[in-house]
């Protein structure tokens, strides 16, 4: 079996495999729709890789490098995973690991127990079940009134270290994907957050109390659709259970409205019950879920 990058003339057939579902490859229209959507959102399709046996393509995956030394692996959905697919994933991880990529991530259907076991045996750790949620946002939503002594700081080169230090502190005793803590340098984390959607420093906030960072709220506009993404929300331990999560969410809703978007999307660890309750209080509803698995690549 040969695992290698796809040739240009193989891209269409490889995409049919990657976009397929329930054991059936996608048709040509689905491939065209995917390419059109990627173009509308300003996304490259990444690096296509294929596994070939006896001159026949048997597997394909899409590897999308992202800022922050991470690569996202997109696999066929609802296909029976096997050792040939795992070998292809191993080849892609070896390739990117040799190019200073730190983490590989893949998302699996929660029902794909066999796939989770297979990739766990190939160096992937289950990080979380990610719950995807959407909240509708009314226009002209107003920002919150801040408690005495509190202020907002927006992102800039001057405040970069404040953002980095505050976000690191929010990880302490956090219920949000705790297995990720320490796997990446904070500057890689921030680079990854900047690469999520359309980065605008106007919509990155640190909530300070008398100059000390207490919480972080990072938002981005999603290209091509009328929505924004809540990239990150977190509070340092000293700021929890003080009603400040609601302050951050009110600011997120107001900023989404200011962008002209009518929907705010977010992903949350299913074990992070306080965060899910917070989002539900602001009208967020569940839209789906995925199992996030991570593999630490060679330095």
pLDDT digits (tens, 9 = 90+) for 149-207: 999 999 999 999 999 999 999 999 998 888 787 778 899 999 999 988 899 999 999 99
pLDDT at 41 (0 to 100): 65
Using DSSP's 3-state secondary structure scheme, residue 95 falls into: helix
Query: Which residues of the chain form CATH 3.40.630.30?
Result: 2-123, 135-289
Identify any residues that bridge with 3 across adjacent strands, giving them in sequence order.
51
What does each C-alpha distance from 170 to 125, 149, 216, 292 come to in angstroms?
22, 20, 8, 21
Of 96, 126, 133, 98, the C-alpha closest to 112 is: 126
- Quote the mean pLDDT of the chain: 91
The whole-angstrom separation of Cα 182 and Cα 247 is 28
The CATH code of the domain at 2-123 is 3.40.630.30
Q: DSSP state, 183?
A: S
pLDDT at 76 (0 to 100): 85
Reported in sequence order, the residue ranges of the chain that DSSP labels E, i.e. its strands, are 2-5, 47-53, 56-66, 70-74, 103-108, 125-136, 150-154, 204-209, 212-222, 227-235, 263-269, 285-296
Cβ(170)–Cβ(236) below 8 Å: yes
- Strands of the sheet with 56-66, listed across from one edge: 2-5, 47-53, 56-66, 70-74, 103-108, 285-296, 125-136, 263-269, 227-235, 212-222, 204-209, 150-154
Band (pLDDT 50/70/90 cuts) for residue 299 is low
Q: Is CATH 3.40.630.30 the classification given to domain 135-289?
A: yes
Show the tokens assigned to 13.
Answer: 């057939």
Band (pLDDT 50/70/90 cuts) for residue 83 is confident
Quote the radius of gyration of the chain (alpha carbons, Å): 20
pTM of the model: 0.89
pLDDT of 44 above 70? no
The whole-angstrom separation of Cα 133 and Cα 288 is 7
Q: Which residues touch 160 (CB under 8 Å, ≥6 apart)?
A: 190
The whole-angstrom separation of Cα 286 and Cα 16 is 29
pLDDT of 79 above 70? no
């Amino acid at each position: 079996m040969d695992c290698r990058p796809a040739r240009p003339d193989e891209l269409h057939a490889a995409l049919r495999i990657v976009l397929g579902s329930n054991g059936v490859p996608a048709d040509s229209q689905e491939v065209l729709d995917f390419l059109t959507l990627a173009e509308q959102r300003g996304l490259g399709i990444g690096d296509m890789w294929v596994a070939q046996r006896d001159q026949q393509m048997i597997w394909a995956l899409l590897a999308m490098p992202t800022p922050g030394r991470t690569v996202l692996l997109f696999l066929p959905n609802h296909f029976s995973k096997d050792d040939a697919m795992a070998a292809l994933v191993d080849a892609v991880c070896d390739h990117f690991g040799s190019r200073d990529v730190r983490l590989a991530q893949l998302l699996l259907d929660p029902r794909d127990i066999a796939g989770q076991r297979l990739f766990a045996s190939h160096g992937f750790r289950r990080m979380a079940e990610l719950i995807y949620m959407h909240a509708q946002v009314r226009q002209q939503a107003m920002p919150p009134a801040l408690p005495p002594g509190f202020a907002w700081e927006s992102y800039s080169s001057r405040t970069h270290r404040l953002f980095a230090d505050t976000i690191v502190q929010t990880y302490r005793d956090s219920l949000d994907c705790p297995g990720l803590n320490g796997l990446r340098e904070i500057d890689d984390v921030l680079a990854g957050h900047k690469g999520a959607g359309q980065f605008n420093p106007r919509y990155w906030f640190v909530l300070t109390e008398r100059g000390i960072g207490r919480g972080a709220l990072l938002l981005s506009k999603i290209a091509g659709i009328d929505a924004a993404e809540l990239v990150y929300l977190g509070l340092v331990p000293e700021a929890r259970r003080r009603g400040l999560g609601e302050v951050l969410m009110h600011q997120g809703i107001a900023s989404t409205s200011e962008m002209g978007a009518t929907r705010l999307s977010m992903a949350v660890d299913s074990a992070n019950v306080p965060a899910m309750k917070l989002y539900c209080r602001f009208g967020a509803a569940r839209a789906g879920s995925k199992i996030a698995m991570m593999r630490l690549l060679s330095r």
